[in-house]
Structures are given as C-alpha cells and as structure tokens.
C-alpha cells in the first residue's frame, strides 16, 4: 500500500487484533501502537507517571537519556521501569533510548523548523489563540491513548503487534490524540500538541518506530455557528478545511489539494487532505469533526470541535528533500549542519551514498509470526544500519507450511560497512529470528 494514511483511518478500520498479523505493510504511515516489578513497585511507577503527565507546563524539560535513567521534570524514570522482562511489556532497549530525545524541540533540526513554521501560521492567523504543548510525557495510560478517543476494543492499534506497552495499562503513545481529552478536561479550547509517537511497524525508508506528530484542536461554542446559518457540524468542518488549506499553502506554496472522506474512531465526519506534489498525490494529514462523545465526557455538551493530526517526518521529508527517515536521528554534521533555524525552504544535499548490502533469509513461519516482530528483532541488532526489510517470496506447501523469504538491506547513512560487520549482523539476526520468533530457518 503506497503512502498509506494513518493507523486509524479506513485502511485499518476492519482489521481486528485477531488477524492483524496479516496487515499489509504500509508505506509512509505518518502516522500507526520487563523487570523489577511487583505491585508495590508498579504502584509507585504509576503515581510518578501520573504526576508527570498531569502537570504539563510547556517549559518542563526532558533530558537526553544518560546511561539507563531518563529524567522527566522532577521524575526519574529508570530503564527497568520501561523495559521489563514481562509478557505485558514489549519495549526494547532501542526504543527506550529514544525517549526524551525530543527532536521536535530543536530549532535547527528539520522537525523543529517545521514545527515552528506551523506555529507561525497559527500565530499569524489566530494571534494568541492556540495553546502549544510540545513537552507532554509520551508514556500514557491505555485509557488516554485509546478509550478517551473512542478507539474500539478490537481495533488493531491496541494490539501488542502494533503498539509498545510498558504494562497492560500503560503505553508509549501511538498518536498525539492521546492528549485530546486530557487537555479538553483541563479547559483548553484551542491547542496544538507536538510530540514523539511510537509504533511497531515495518522497516523501509519512510518508516521508523518513533516519529513525530502534531495535533490541533479547536472548540466552538453555539455563538460561533449560530450567526452563520449552518449547523454546528458543517460550520466546524468548513472552518477546519479552510484552516488546513491555509496551512498547506503556507508550507507548500500554491499547490493543488483535494479532500478524501475517511474514517477515524474519534472524528465524524473524517477527512484526509492530499496535495499534488512532484507528480503525485501526497496525503498530508488526517482530521475531522470531533466525536460529540469526547466533548461530552470532557464536560462540553453544547460545543462542537475539530481536530487534526499530521506526521512531521512525512512533511519534512518532502519539504527538505530528505530521502531516508533514519537521517532525522543522525548526529553526523554533514546532515545537521545543513539546516538552520527558521529556514523551511532548504533542500538537503545528500552526502555520498554508501552502497547497500542485501542479505536474504528464508524460513517456515509459525502461527504467531508477524512482520513487525521480525522488524523489531532486526532493528534490535542492526539499529539504524538496516534500511529495509522486504518480503520477496511467500508460498504455502502441500502440507500447509508457509515459507517467507525476506531481503534485508543494510546500509549506513554515514560510512561504508565491511563484509565482516554485515556478516556478523546477519548471523545474529538469523540466530535471534530462530530463537525469538519460533520460525524454522530453511
Ligand atoms: N490520530 C490520528 C492518527 O494518528 C490522526 C488524527 C488526529 C485524525 C485527529 C483525526 C483527528 O492516525
């Protein structure tokens, strides 16, 4: 599926957890969710997190993880609180190491530059209206991430295959919509939330298990729509479209756009905005009129609201000509030095591209096999040296056994890899694929 929309849009509407392991791999999702322990410990942990995400002053600082402790506000979060050897936890070390990096808060980073450009649009068109949050804790309750935004009990995004669970009631947010209800309850009526979001997914140049989203919400009161002569929902939908078309023009200039009807559990009606860019329709965001139930539960019975969510990497890759999503995480000066604060128009000039190395691997799958689990194993061993994991052959024999052949592309963004290094990676991948995924190598 090329350029697939969001985890929550119609592509996954009919998928339930039960068969989600057959989900087709999605290209360019801007978008789709083990140790110490015991009850006393967990209770402490939950209280700490609760305090962390109930006081969301924007100036609260995160520090980059040092060794195995992350500090959020005044709260220290140890690695073994997030990465636990427990069946209810599926957060690997590689994901823990991304917590607190907050690329979107770096003014010289493409994601920070883009965030600021979107802020500029809202500041110019709605002076002092929108409250901005870019420092809310990404560790949230399943209630905030799913229930509060009406994600159905059997929705694919709730599965351990698609989302990162810290424990059965706590996840790494899979979308910034996780903060909608909480902020509405806190009395906010116009807000933008930017943050890192986490999803287990396939591996290619446009997918990374951590990416960044910006959520926008605007609430209207009867006085807003009554004078217009239209009903509340049409009024909000029209305002939403006008606002987002303006934003797209602000970012992309005079582009052709179109609206596509879609589905999200939290909005109705729901839309996707596509722009015509470099000979192709590109989905840039998902949005809609907020489900009345969300407003009602937040104590806003007479109101109507719109909401949108956009994936920053997807937009930044297009706006800055960035060819591979791993580059956003690069500390290589040849990448970082190309961008400056406030400069949206700059085009990235690739430094020489190092050759890829391909390794194929065939195995008989087990019932529990999923591509996301395979990708996690490969990512855990090869880190950012893996560029793509692609299914190149798939058949079922007469005995009903299914074989998959995956091609793994290894390539560093920064240097040439030696044969020895790649062979070592591939050997470890084979070993772990066999032991962790219970497949039989062929
Ligand atoms: N949360 C949705 C996603 O990540 C995007 C979205 C936000 C859609 C708000 C509609 C309204 O896929």
| Whole-number average pLDDT of the chain | 86
CA of residue 86 to ligand 1 center, whole Å: 30
Tell me how far apart the alpha carbons of residues 416 and 379 are, in angstroms, rounded to a whole number.
Answer: 19
Question: Which residue, 393, 305, 325, 397, is CA-closest to 27?
Answer: 325
**CATH 3.30.930.10 holds for 4-319:** yes
Count of residues in the chain: 442
- Predicted confidence at residue 254, as pLDDT, reads 86
Q: Are 185 and 299 in contact (CB under 8 A)?
A: yes
Residue 70's pLDDT band (boundaries 50, 70, 90)?
confident
Q: Name the strand (E) or helix (H) holding 420.
A: helix 419-437
CA of residue 152 to ligand 1 center, whole Å: 15
Token reading at 189: 């009526």
169 half-sphere exposure, CB direction, 13 A CA radius:
7
Using the atom order of ligand 1, give the atom closest to the CA of residue 286: 8
- Predicted confidence at residue 67, as pLDDT, reads 53
CA of residue 97 to ligand 1 center, whole Å: 25
Over the stretch 128-150, which tens digit does the pLDDT of each residue have?
999 999 999 999 999 999 999 99
Strands 267-277 and 280-290: what pairing?
antiparallel
Residue nearest to atom 5 of ligand 1 (CA): 309
Tell me how far apart the alpha carbons of residues 118 and 107 are, in angstroms, rounded to a whole number.
Answer: 13
Residue nearest to atom 2 of ligand 1 (CA): 309
Residue 6's pLDDT band (boundaries 50, 70, 90)?
low
- Predicted confidence at residue 285, as pLDDT, reads 96
Using the atom order of ligand 1, give the atom closest to the CA of residue 287: 10
What are 427-433's contacts with CB under 8 Å, separation 24+? Answer: 428/381, 429/359, 429/361, 429/377, 429/378, 429/381, 429/382, 430/361, 432/377, 432/380, 432/381, 433/361, 433/363, 433/374, 433/377
For the entire predicted model, the pTM comes to 0.85
CA of residue 48 to ligand 1 center, whole Å: 28
- Max CA separation in the chain (angstroms): 72
Q: Has residue 61 got a pLDDT over 80?
A: no
Q: Which residues are 388's β-sheet partners?
A: 409
Residue nearest to atom 7 of ligand 1 (CA): 309
- Predicted confidence at residue 72, as pLDDT, reads 64
Give the mutation target among 3, 8, 214 for probing the ligand 1 site: most ligand atoms within 8 A of CB.
8
Residue 107: helix, strand or coil by DSSP?
A: coil
- Predicted confidence at residue 62, as pLDDT, reads 39
CA of residue 266 to ligand 1 center, whole Å: 8
Q: Has residue 45 got a pLDDT over 80?
A: no
Q: Has residue 25 got a pLDDT over 50?
A: no
CA of residue 401 to ligand 1 center, whole Å: 38
Residue nearest to atom 10 of ligand 1 (CA): 287
Residue 325's pLDDT band (boundaries 50, 70, 90)?
very high
Strands 267-277 and 304-311: what pairing?
unpaired
Name the percent of the chain lying above pLDDT 90: 78
**Angle, alpha carbons 409-206-433 (nearest 5°):** 45
Residue 321: helix, strand or coil by DSSP?
A: coil
Over the stretch 100-121, which tens digit does the pLDDT of each residue have?
999 999 999 999 999 999 999 9
CA of residue 309 to ligand 1 center, whole Å: 4
**Distance from first CA to last CA of the chain, Å, rounded?**
28
Q: Which residues line ligand 1 (CB under 6 A)?
A: 6-8, 31, 175, 177, 215, 264, 266-267, 286-288, 307-309
Least confident of 245-249, 268-272, 274-278: 274-278
The DSSP string of 250-280 is: HHHSS--EEEEEEEETTEEEEEEEEEEETTE
Structural domain boundaries of the chain?
4-319, 357-441
Tell me how far apart the alpha carbons of residues 146 and 159 are, in angstroms, rounded to a whole number.
Answer: 11
Q: Has residue 241 got a pLDDT over 90?
A: yes
**CATH 3.40.50.300 holds for 357-441:** no
CA of residue 286 to ligand 1 center, whole Å: 5
Residue nearest to atom 9 of ligand 1 (CA): 308
Give the mutation target among 177, 201, 288, 306 for probing the ligand 1 site: most ligand atoms within 8 A of CB.
177
Token reading at 431: 């070993």
């Amino acid at each position: 599926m090329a350029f697939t929309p969001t985890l929550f849009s119609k592509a996954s509407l009919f998928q339930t957890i039960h068969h989600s392991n057959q989900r087709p791999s999605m290209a360019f999702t801007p978008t789709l969710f083990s140790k110490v322990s015991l009850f006393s410990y967990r209770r402490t942990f939950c209280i700490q997190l609760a305090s962390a995400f109930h006081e969301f002053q924007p100036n609260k600082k995160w520090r980059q993880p040092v060794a195995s402790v992350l500090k959020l506000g005044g709260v220290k979060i140890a690695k073994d609180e997030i990465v636990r050897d427990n069946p209810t936890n599926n957060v690997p070390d590689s994901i823990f190491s991304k917590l607190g990096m907050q690329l979107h808060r770096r003014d010289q980073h493409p994601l920070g530059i883009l965030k600021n450009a979107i802020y500029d649009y809202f500041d110019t068109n709605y002076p002092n209206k929108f409250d901005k949050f870019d420092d809310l804790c990404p560790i949230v309750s399943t209630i905030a991430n799913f229930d509060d935004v009406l994600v159905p009990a059997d929705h694919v995004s709730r599965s351990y295959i698609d989302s990162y669970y810290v424990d059965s009631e706590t996840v790494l947010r899979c979308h910034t919509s996780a903060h909608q209800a909480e902020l509405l309850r806190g009395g906010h009526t116009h807000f933008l939330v930017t943050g890192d979001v986490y999803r287990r997914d396939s591996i290619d140049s446009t997918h990374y298990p951590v990416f960044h989203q910006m959520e926008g919400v605007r609430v209207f009161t009867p006085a807003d729509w009554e004078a217009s002569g239209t009903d509340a929902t049409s009024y909000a939908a029209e305002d939403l479209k006008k606002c987002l078309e303006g934003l797209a023009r602000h970012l992309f200039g005079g582009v052709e756009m179109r609206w596509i009807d879609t589905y999200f559990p939290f909005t109705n009606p729901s839309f996707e905005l596509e722009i015509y860019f470099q000979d192709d329709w590109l989905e840039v965001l998902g949005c809609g009129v907020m489900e009345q139930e969300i407003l009602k539960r937040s104590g806003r019975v007479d109101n109507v609201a719109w909401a949108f969510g956009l994936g920053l990497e997807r937009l930044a890759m297009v706006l800055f000509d960035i060819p591979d999503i791993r580059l956003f995480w690069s500390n290589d000066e040849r990448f970082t030095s190309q961008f400056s604060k406030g400069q949206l128009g700059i085009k990235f000039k690739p430094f020489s591209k190092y050759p890829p190395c391909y390794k194929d691997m065939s195995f008989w799958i087990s019932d529990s096999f999923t591509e996301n689990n395979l990708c996690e194993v490969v990512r855990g061993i090869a880190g950012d040296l893996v560029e793509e994991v692609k299914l190149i052959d798939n058949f079922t024999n007469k005995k009903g056994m299914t074989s998959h052949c995956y091609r793994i592309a290894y390539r560093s963004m920064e240097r040439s890899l030696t044969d020895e290094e790649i062979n070592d990676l591939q050997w470890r991948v084979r070993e772990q694929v066999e032991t962790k995924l219970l497949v039989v190598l062929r």
